[in-house]
Amino acid sequence: MPTNGPIDDSDIVAVGADLEPGTLLAAYRNGLFPMPFDRRRIAWFSPDPRGIVPLDGLHVSRSLRKSVRRFDVSIDTRFTEVMRACADPKRPGGWINRSFVDAYTRLHELGWAHSFEILDESGELVGGLYGVRIGGLFAGESMFHRATDASKVALVHLVDWLNETRASLLDVQWTTPHLTSLGAVDVPRAEYLELLADAV
């Protein structure tokens, strides 16, 4: 989930190809994920180290537990809306363009991409996240919030869902101070690829 995170060009392992469902799924199964490289091309990243959130290691503070009770959550009901919120050009470090929204919406329609929507008491979307699920892997792509703790609440619900459905790997691409405070850790690329092979 690279929003506002440190993006290092040395983590690029390929440039080119497309965002067709088969291409994306093959990439994730091999530890790669795409981001725009320039106006026409796609870069494929495999960070070293790689950020993950251990599914038994999420840090949930007392205040966050209160926030979890304050919001409602839905899953896969407003996928494209969540992606567009993550793609808001006013956000620093934004990288999600229309091609990516279209490509991942297609993956969602095929059952591979999922969103968690955080709603306030009036039903307004105030936070969420999305990513790709392949077997025991969930590759988190991006998250957003418009209310305090809303993206953290989405992560709590995501981890609960992954544990309930016997997933084994939550990939967050790069760690950030925000994610580290929630329990994210860095692992070497080689170790990540071993975890990935077990997960998918």
Domains with residue ranges and CATH for the chain: 9-199 (3.40.630.70)
Pairing of the two strands 50-52 and 169-173: antiparallel
Structure-token pair, residue 19? 């965002």
Return mean pLDDT, the chain: 93
For 156-175, what is each residue's pLDDT tens digit? Answer: 999 999 999 999 999 999 99
Q: Is the pLDDT higher at 120 or at 91?
A: 120
Query: Global pTM?
Result: 0.93
4 pLDDT above the threshold of 50:
no
pLDDT over 90 percentage in the chain = 88
Residue 9's pLDDT band, with cuts at 50, 70 and 90, is confident
DSSP summary character for residue 118: E
For 104-161, what is each residue's pLDDT tens digit? Answer: 999 999 999 999 999 999 999 999 999 999 999 999 999 999 999 999 999 999 999 9
Structure-token pair, residue 185? 């850790």
Pairing of the two strands 169-173 and 137-145: parallel
Closest-CA residue to 73 (of 128, 110, 15): 128
pLDDT over 70 percentage in the chain = 95
Q: How long is the chain?
A: 200
